[in-house]
Structures are given as structure tokens and as C-alpha cells.
Chain A
Amino acid sequence: NGDDLLQPLESCISDAERFKEAATLELTCTCGAHFAFGGIQESSYYTVTFSGIQCSSCGTQLSSLRVASQLERLIRHHISLYYAGWVECDDVSCGVHTRQVSVYGKRCIGNTGRSVGCKGVISYVYTDRELYNQLLYLESLFDVDKARRQELRPLQDDTENRIRSDSGETKKGISQSTLDALAEQNRDTFGAFQSVVQKYFEQCGRRYVDMASLFNFS
């Protein structure tokens, strides 16, 4: 559609921008604490140590299976949400939000339910582009090279940090040398988490260009 034409290529924009809308990965620790995991970066709720992710409230190291299971559940949650197939009308005066689809697809069923009258265009609320970006975001969390280059999406909801920096106190970041070391030490474990996301990328239709539709073979 026309809107996308003026956008820069998605792969060229920063993760912070590209993954703005993506849902965060919330991890639950054995102690019951919940926190948003944002990869190897500063957070007051967890620390990435040389041997994995550590909860700040109880000091426990989260096992790989604990992290991977919560990651995979979140992925499946999003795939299922996508397949719920909610659609929406772009005409604000209509506001139809439904899971019913007309035999014309883009035609609005309208408030009357009779599929006449409303000139709005219907589209899926959760698009495959958003789902794809969500998966890419989750994969980026375990991308140790991105972490080293400090290219990860910052943890937005870390309000505590923001207050601290507002009050003039310097926000303590992770030094580059520590970052480099942490990245190398966690490469294998984080790779296993990335493989969980990869499992779904292999299935994801958006990742593969349909050559037949581009060139109209057949």
C-alpha cells in the first residue's frame, strides 16, 4: 500500500524505532519477581552475568529452560493473537472491529451488518508485518553483537532509571569492555534462545518472497 512507499527500508532503521510497538519479554523468576528483559543492558531488575541472566531481587540465576519456555510461550501467544484474525474498518465514523470477514475481504460489513453503506476499507488489526517485527525483536534481545554495539531497543518502562537521571545522578551504564566480555561469555546460551525464535522464522511466510507472485511464472 501507498503509505509504505515513503518509509525507509525497515532494515535500515534502528531497533529502537523499528521495534517501538513490539511487546516486551517479561520474565518470571523462581522468587516470583517479574521483569522486562531487554538483552544485555542496564536494568535495575536483572543483571546479565558471565553465566546468564540473574534476578536482582533474589540473586538467582535463571536457568536456560526457564527463559526459553517463557520466550517460546510469548511467541506462540503472538502467533495465536495474529490468527485470531481481528479486522478493522479504516473509516473512523464506522469503527467496526470484528472477526467476521466479508466475501470481498476489504469491504466493510458496516454497523448494520448488511455489508452495504460503509465505504471504509477493512484490514487485519494484527498484520503479518507486526508479527514479523515482534519475532525479530525477540531475536534481537539475544543478539550479543547488537548488545556490544549498544543497538538494542532501550528498556522504556525502566522508570526508576529515568527518575534517577532526572535528579542529576549519573546513570551507571555497562562499560564497553564489560559489554564485550559479557557478549562473548553468553554467546552460546543466547544462541540457544535465538534458535527458539528461528524455529518460527522458518515457518514465517513473510520471510520468504513468493517468486511466483513477483514474476508471475506458471
Chain B
Amino acid sequence: PKKYQFRTMRQKLLDTADVLDEQIDSMAKTLQKHHKIAESDFGNPCIASQFSVYCCGRIVPDSPFAPVELRLNPDSLFLETSRLGGIGQRISIDVQSLAEYSFFPGQIVGFKGKNPSGERFIVEQVLDIPYLGAPVSNKTELLEYKTNLDGSSMKTTVLSGPYTPSTKIDYSLLESFVQKLNTEIKPHSVIMFGPFLDITHPSIRDGSIESVPELQGKKVATLDNFFRAVITPILKKIDSRIQVILIPSTRDSISSHAAYPQNSFERKSLQLPKNFKCFPNPCSFQLNECLIGVSNLDSFKDIKDVNRGKIGDLNRFDRIADHILQQRRYYPCFPGSLKTRKGPDGTVEHICGADLDMPYMGLSELYDVLPDVLIIPSEMRYFVRVVKNVVVINPGYFLTGNNAGTYVTLSVKPPNPEVDDDDLTCINDDDRLYIHNIWKRARVDIINV
């Protein structure tokens, strides 16, 4: 897609700031409309006032020196206002009177409260953020999908890299998995997340990738050639009747677009056949009626909230998935995560990070509808949850460390708009539009590789 073809390594501070500012103002508009609050009832939370006001802002830590790895606490929260809402100033917030909350840095929130002294904004109420609607299809489309499937379920296999052990470069597990895919699993489609060859792998760092047995006798001069010589032949063995979707990772050596949002791989330069499709990271696409949203940046690990009350007792993944859906962004934290290593002499070495290209973060928004299925691979333990009728999946990694990991198979019962059951919800009799209710028709299995 054209929009993802932006040039990287040219991030301007003012463009970054514009995006950060716009995130607050557009949420303020959404909240005004949803809660029917007059614009005049919105006020600047940073200045002293005897009356309660509504405001909107971003949750930030109370100090510029707060390291991103640290979890915030309820006393270290500030609210950042937009240029319009409070000339960009930040104010300490008091959340003691709230029975429950869940806040993380980068989150856009709407509050009602007051600032009696000018020093601290006392939050009285957190404004609910409305959810986006569900995608719909009309009867003709659904009947077509039903015929395509010929009565059987739509079957999709989802797996995520790394595909090599963490101590050596070895694709034999992937090779045997492809065999299993063709003969046993036999899905209609496979969604594969990168990294396929992780640029942060120790064998790339010291160059010992040269000793991979598959390379014997072949002249391979670069990592891109390595991909074509070693990984492409394995992927090519996937049965041509299976549609394969590749989603890159910012740690993929083959991608030259090393920033999130990330442009897709180029199928032709990878020398892959036509049953392969290369999509950007993040993106959404349809498999029959099912709208699948994917993002290959570990939001489940990186969103670290400070919480209180009932919401804190919820499953953490439910809470984070709910944040993603509310914030309408696949990766709503800011600043993005960093992975570093401390050397013996105390120096901190940068390894990798979220690599957010802030001016283009608009491309990581959910836009007009919620997906039916949301897939975000994570280093955290695999899971499948239904949150706000969205099937949320973390397939886990194909390999974790040196051990075989997990993959996921998603089966969706074919839609049948002619039968009046719970499987589809007709929302408009004239246009015959149906909500897909994938969460009622789907079965997700987490399987050991």
C-alpha cells in the first residue's frame, strides 16, 4: 500500500508533536459528541477553578527522567493537555476518589474533575470512551462466502516468529512444520508473522551465521541472499492451494523499512510464488467476511498499567485488549518500549525497541470499525480471549528460546444468512446487513509446535 511507503529516518520533532497533539484533540471531539457535552463545559485542568470541568489529555509520568521500563504508581501520574485544551501544560492528577481505574503512559483519557488550588487536578469521573462499531456484510456477500466454503469451516493457521532457536540459526523445525501444514493441518490460509531472520540474533552479531549447514556450497554474500537461499525454499514448499499472508517485524533482516508502522515485504524480491501475500505492519484485511486486524509490535508486553478496583482483578490481557480497542490504536503507549542490556562496566547498550515513526502513527489506527479478530503476537504466554465481541489472539512464538513454542488454528463456521439463528445478527432488514458475530462462530485452538 502506498501510504506505508514513506521514507524512514527522517523524523521531525514538530511532526511528532503534531501527531501527539491531534491524538488528544480528536479524542476530545469523540467524547464531546458521545457524552453530549457542550464545548464550553470543557476547561483547562491546569488552572485553578472552583467548578468542575471536563478535560481530555494524555497520561504521562510526573518526571521527564522516569524510565519507560518502570511501572507508574497512582501518585506519579500527570495529565498532558493539548495545545488547544491547556497550552500543552501538564498537571498532577489525584485519582484517590476513583473506585477503579487503569492508566498507562500514552493513554488518552477524558476526565471530569476540578483543580481547586492550581497545583493538582482532582479526578471525579473518568469518561467512558465509546467503542467503534462492528463490521457488517450484506446477504449476497455472505451467501457467496458460504458457497465458496462448500459447507466446511474456514480454517486459518496463525504463527509468529522467531522461527529459529535463540542460540543458533536453524530452520529445521519450520521445515517440518510446513510438512505438517500441507498434510495434516491443511488450512485455507496461513498468517505468518516475522521475524523470519531476526537482526538482533547473536549469530548475526558475530557473523557466525556463515556456518549454517544449508549454506554449504552456496555463495551467499548478504543477509538478503541468505533469506532467498535458506528461507524462501522452505516457504515455497507450502502447498500452493494455501494462501499465505506475511506480516513483517521491525526486527526482520529482509525489511529495509525498519520502523513501525512498517511497509510490507516485497513478494517478488523474496522470490515467493503467487499464493503469498505481503501485508504491512499493522493492517487489517478480510478473509471472507471475517475482518482481521494484525499488528506485530508487542502491545501486550509494553502496556503496563497502574490500576485499582474491579478492573485490576480482570485478566490483564482482557484489560489491555480493551485499552487497544478503546484507544483505537494497535500500539497506544508512548514512548515506545526499549530493550537494552547492561554491560559489566555499567554501560547501557541499546538492543532494539518499538521503533515508532511518530509522524506516521496515524497508520496504526483502527479507523472506522473494530476488527472481528485481533491478532497481536506477544512474548507473553499465548492466549485467546473475547473482548467486546472481538476475538483477541496471541498465538505465542513458534520458538521460545530454544524450545518449540505454539501456533494457533482459527476455524470459523460458514455464515448462513438464510437461517435465523444466533450466528449472524441482522441489523437492517431493508439492506439485509449482518453483523458477523465471529466470536460466536469461531473456534480457536492453541497447539504446541
> Which residues from A are CB-within-8-Å of B253?
72, 76
Is there contact, CB below 8 Å, between B209 and A69?
Answer: yes
> Which residues from A are CB-within-8-Å of B89?
114-116
CA distance A68 to B46 in the complex (A): 53
**Residue A206, interface by CB 8 Å:** yes
Q: How many residues of A contact B (CB 8 A)?
A: 62
CA distance A213 to B26 in the complex (A): 26
Interface size class of B (residues with CB under 8 A): 35 or more
Stretch at the interface among B56-64, B324-332, B428-436: B56-64
Stretch at the interface among B11-19, B152-160, B284-292, B386-394: B11-19
Q: Residue on B with the closest CB to A70?
A: B207
Is there contact, CB below 8 Å, between B210 and A105?
Answer: no
> Which residues from B are CB-within-8-Å of A72?
199, 204, 222-223, 253
**Residue A48, interface by CB 8 Å:** no
Q: Residue on B with the closest CB to A116?
A: B89
A69-B209, A105-B16 as given contacts; A84 in contact with B350, CB under 8 Å:
yes
Of residues 1 through 21 on chain B, the ones whose CB sits less than 8 Å from some CB of chain A are 6-11, 13-14, 16-18, 20-21
- Least Cβ–Cβ distance between B443 and chain A, in angstroms: 39
CA distance A158 to B199 in the complex (A): 29
Per a CB cutoff under 8 Å, which of B17, B207, B354 touches A66? B207
Is there contact, CB below 8 Å, between A83 and B64?
Answer: no
Of residues 81 through 98 on chain B, the ones whose CB sits less than 8 Å from some CB of chain A are 81-83, 88-92
Interface string of B48-70 (1 = CB under 8 A from A): 00000000000011111100100
Stretch at the interface among A144-152, A161-169, A173-181, A191-199: A191-199
CA distance A68 to B223 in the complex (A): 7
Of residues 49 through 87 on chain A, the ones whose CB sits less than 8 Å from some CB of chain B are 62-70, 72-73, 76-77, 79-85, 87
Is there contact, CB below 8 Å, between B357 and A83?
Answer: yes
Q: Residue on A with the closest CB to B60?
A: A100
The majority secondary structure among interface residues of chain A is mixed
Interface string of B347-377 (1 = CB under 8 A from A): 0001111111110000000000000000000
CA distance A115 to B436 in the complex (A): 47
A65-B221, A65-B226 as given contacts; A205 in contact with B7, CB under 8 Å:
yes
Is there contact, CB below 8 Å, between B63 and A113?
Answer: yes
Is there contact, CB below 8 Å, between A128 and B88?
Answer: no
CA distance A124 to B253 in the complex (A): 26
Per a CB cutoff under 8 Å, which of A96, A109, A195 touches B222? A195
Is there contact, CB below 8 Å, between B353 and A80?
Answer: yes
**Residue B27, interface by CB 8 Å:** no
CA distance A104 to B64 in the complex (A): 15
Is there contact, CB below 8 Å, between B64 and A113?
Answer: yes
CA distance A82 to B199 in the complex (A): 16
**Residue B130, interface by CB 8 Å:** no
CA distance A28 to B88 in the complex (A): 48
- Least Cβ–Cβ distance between B227 and chain A, in angstroms: 12
Is there contact, CB below 8 Å, between A203 and B17?
Answer: no
Is there contact, CB below 8 Å, between A81 and B350?
Answer: yes
> Which residues from B are CB-within-8-Å of A106?
13-14, 17
**Residue A208, interface by CB 8 Å:** yes
CA distance A210 to B46 in the complex (A): 39
**Residue B112, interface by CB 8 Å:** no
- Least Cβ–Cβ distance between A104 and chain B, in angstroms: 5
Is there contact, CB below 8 Å, between B20 and A66?
Answer: no
Is there contact, CB below 8 Å, between A65 and B13?
Answer: no
Is there contact, CB below 8 Å, between B8 and A192?
Answer: no
* Supplied contacts A85-B11, A106-B17, A199-B256, 8 more A-B pairs, CB within 8 Å: A63-B207, A72-B204, A85-B16, A96-B65, A102-B80, A103-B24, A105-B18, A203-B9
9 of the cross-chain contacts (CB-CB < 8 Å) are: A66-B209, A80-B352, A81-B350, A83-B259, A104-B83, A124-B13, A128-B10, A205-B9, A205-B10
Measured CB to CB, the residues of B under 8 A from A are 6-11, 13-14, 16-18, 20-21, 24, 46, 60-65, 68, 78, 80-83, 88-92, 199-200, 203-210, 215, 220-226, 250, 253, 256-259, 335-336, 338, 350-358
Measured CB to CB, the residues of A under 8 A from B are 27-28, 30, 62-70, 72-73, 76-77, 79-85, 87, 96-107, 109-111, 113-116, 122-124, 128, 131-132, 189, 192-193, 195-196, 199-200, 202-206, 208
Which 6 residue pairs across A and B have the least CB separation, nearest first? Answer: A205-B10, A105-B17, A66-B207, A205-B7, A98-B64, A99-B335
